């Protein structure tokens, strides 16, 4: 028979939960935009206006009539 690795002592509930502490759900940091009032993620572009930190980053596309 092959020898397998077996724990010498039982892992306590405290140690088990400390090991798993980083597995918890983290909430998204949603803020209201100062200019538009739309909710957005912090440090992300406001998709409704296309601005980030007061600068225009994305220009909105307009539909062209053919």
Q: Where are the domains of the chain?
A: 29-59
For residue range 13-44, what is the model confidence (pLDDT) as tens digits? 999 999 888 888 888 899 998 888 889 999 99
Give the pLDDT confidence score for residue 66 in this predicted structure: 58
Report the alpha-carbon distance of residue 53 to residue 57 in Å, rounded.
9
Residue 30's alpha-carbon distances to 14, 42, 46, in angstroms, are 32, 6, 11
- Cut 0.75: pTM above it: no
Two tokens at 62? 């307009």
């Amino acid at each position: 028979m092959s020898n397998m690795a077996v724990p010498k002592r039982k892992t306590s509930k405290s140690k088990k939960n400390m090991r798993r502490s980083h597995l918890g759900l983290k909430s998204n940091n949603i803020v209201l935009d100062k200019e538009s009032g739309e909710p957005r993620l912090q440090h992300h572009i406001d998709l409704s206006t296309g601005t980030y930190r007061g600068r225009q980053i994305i220009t909105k596309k307009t539909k062209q009539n053919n």
